A = this chain, B = another copy of it.
Amino acid sequence: MDLHVSLVGRKDLSGEIYRQLRRAILEDRLRPGDALPPTRVLARGLGVSRTTATLAYERLAGEGFVTSRVGAGTFVSERVARVPKDAATRRARPVDKEALRPRRIWDSIPIPTAFDRPAAFDFRSGLPDASLFPHRAWRRVMARALREDSAVSGGVYGHPAGHRGLREAIARHIGIARGVTASPDDVVVTSGTQQALDLIARVLLSPGDTVAVEDPGYPPPRRLFTSLGARVHHVPVDADGLMVDALPRHTRLVYVTPSHQYPLGMSMTLSRRVALLAWAERHHAAIIEDDYDSEFRFGGRPIEPLQTLDSAGRVVYVGSFSKTLLPTLRLGFVVTPPSLSKAVYKAKHVTDWHTSMLAQAALARFIDEGGFARHIRRVGAVYRMRHAMITATLMREFAGRLDVIPSAAGLHVAATARASADQVAAIASRAADAGVAVQELSKFAAGAAWRSGLLLGFGAIATGHIEEGLRRLRACFR
Q: Quote the shortest CB–CB distance from A392 to chain B (angstroms).
A: 17
Q: Which of A272-287 contact B (CB under 8 A)?
A: 274-275, 277-278, 281, 286
Q: Is A59 in contact with chain B by the CB < 8 A criterion?
A: yes
Question: Residue-by-residue, is A310-332 near B (CB-CB < 8 Å gives 1, otherwise 0)?
Answer: 11111000000000001111100
Known contacts: A109-B346, A191-B355. The answer to whether A303 contacts B64 by CB under 8 A is yes
Distance A223 CA – B63 CA, assembled complex (angstroms): 33
Which residue from chain B places its CB closest to the CB of A285 in the assembled complex? Answer: B100
Q: Is A159 in contact with chain B by the CB < 8 A criterion?
A: yes
Which residue from chain B places its CB closest to the CB of A299 in the assembled complex? Answer: B47
Q: Quote the shortest CB–CB distance from A13 to chain B (angstroms).
A: 9
> In the bound complex, do residue A102 and residue B343 qualify as a contact, i.e. CB atoms below 8 Å apart?
yes
Selected contact of A156 from candidates B131, B181, B281, B460, CB within 8 Å: B460
Q: Quote the shortest CB–CB distance from A412 to chain B (angstroms).
A: 14
Q: Which of A427-478 contact B (CB under 8 A)?
A: 459-460
Residues of B within 8 A of A47 (CB): 299-301
> In the bound complex, do residue A62 and residue B155 qualify as a contact, i.e. CB atoms below 8 Å apart?
no
Selected contact of A155 from candidates B27, B151, B171, B459, CB within 8 Å: B459
Give how many copies assemble into the complex.
2
Which of A22, A102, A160, A355 is the most central at the interface, judged by chain B CB atoms within 10 Å of its CB?
A102
Distance A91 CA – B181 CA, assembled complex (angstroms): 8
> In the bound complex, do residue A6 and residue B304 qualify as a contact, i.e. CB atoms below 8 Å apart?
yes
Selected contact of A45 from candidates B129, B295, B299, CB within 8 Å: B299
Question: Residue-by-residue, is A162-204 near B (CB-CB < 8 Å gives 1, otherwise 0)?
Answer: 0000000001110111110111001000111011001000111
Segment from A142-150, A230-238, A398-406, A415-423 that makes contact with B: A142-150
Question: Residue-by-residue, is A129-146 near B (CB-CB < 8 Å gives 1, otherwise 0)?
Answer: 111010100110011001
> In the bound complex, do residue A350 and residue B198 qualify as a contact, i.e. CB atoms below 8 Å apart?
yes
> In the bound complex, do residue A112 and residue B160 qualify as a contact, i.e. CB atoms below 8 Å apart?
yes
Residues of B within 8 A of A101 (CB): 339
Known contacts: A63-B301, A157-B115. The answer to whether A83 contacts B330 by CB under 8 A is no
> In the bound complex, do residue B143 and residue A29 qualify as a contact, i.e. CB atoms below 8 Å apart?
no
> In the bound complex, do residue A311 and residue B206 qualify as a contact, i.e. CB atoms below 8 Å apart?
no
Which of A58, A353, A380 is the most central at the interface, judged by chain B CB atoms within 10 Å of its CB?
A353
Q: Quote the shortest CB–CB distance from A111 to chain B (angstroms).
A: 6
Known contacts: A83-B277, A271-B79, A309-B89. The answer to whether A224 contacts B106 by CB under 8 A is no
Which of A6, A158, A207, A376 is the most central at the interface, judged by chain B CB atoms within 10 Å of its CB?
A6
> In the bound complex, do residue B270 and residue A8 qualify as a contact, i.e. CB atoms below 8 Å apart?
yes
Which residue from chain B places its CB closest to the CB of A209 in the assembled complex? Answer: B103
Segment from A67-75, A210-218, A356-364 that makes contact with B: A356-364
Residues of B within 8 A of A353 (CB): 192, 194, 220, 327, 330
> In the bound complex, do residue B313 and residue A100 qualify as a contact, i.e. CB atoms below 8 Å apart?
yes
Residues of B within 8 A of A8 (CB): 270, 303
Distance A421 CA – B61 CA, assembled complex (angstroms): 37
Question: Residue-by-residue, is A83-103 near B (CB-CB < 8 Å gives 1, otherwise 0)?
Answer: 110111111111111111111
> In the bound complex, do residue A80 and residue B44 qualify as a contact, i.e. CB atoms below 8 Å apart?
no
Residues of B within 8 A of A181 (CB): 27, 89-91
Q: Is A249 in contact with chain B by the CB < 8 A criterion?
A: no
Distance A300 CA – B59 CA, assembled complex (angstroms): 8
Residues of B within 8 A of A20 (CB): 179
Q: Is A342 in contact with chain B by the CB < 8 A criterion?
A: yes
Q: Quote the shortest CB–CB distance from A355 to chain B (angstroms).
A: 7
Which residue from chain B places its CB closest to the CB of A253 in the assembled complex? Answer: B100
> In the bound complex, do residue B89 and residue A183 qualify as a contact, i.e. CB atoms below 8 Å apart?
yes
Residues of B within 8 A of A83 (CB): 274, 277-278, 309, 311
Q: Is A340 in contact with chain B by the CB < 8 A criterion?
A: yes
Question: Residue-by-residue, is A1-40 near B (CB-CB < 8 Å gives 1, otherwise 0)?
Answer: 1111111100000000000101010110111000000000
Q: Is A254 in contact with chain B by the CB < 8 A criterion?
A: no
> In the bound complex, do residue B301 and residue A330 qualify as a contact, i.e. CB atoms below 8 Å apart?
no
> In the bound complex, do residue B191 and residue A327 qualify as a contact, i.e. CB atoms below 8 Å apart?
no
> In the bound complex, do residue B176 and residue A1 qualify as a contact, i.e. CB atoms below 8 Å apart?
yes
Taking A89-B171, A156-B460 as known contacts, 6 extra A-B pairs with beta carbons closer than 8 A to each other, sorted by chain A number, are A65-B270, A79-B271, A90-B307, A103-B343, A109-B346, A115-B158
* CB pairs A–B below 8 angstroms (27 shown): A2-B302, A4-B302, A5-B301, A24-B176, A26-B309, A45-B297, A58-B301, A63-B303, A63-B304, A65-B270, A83-B277, A84-B281, A87-B281, A89-B308, A89-B311, A99-B339, A102-B343, A106-B343, A115-B159, A143-B143, A198-B351, A207-B229, A227-B347, A328-B356, A330-B355, A330-B356, A356-B356
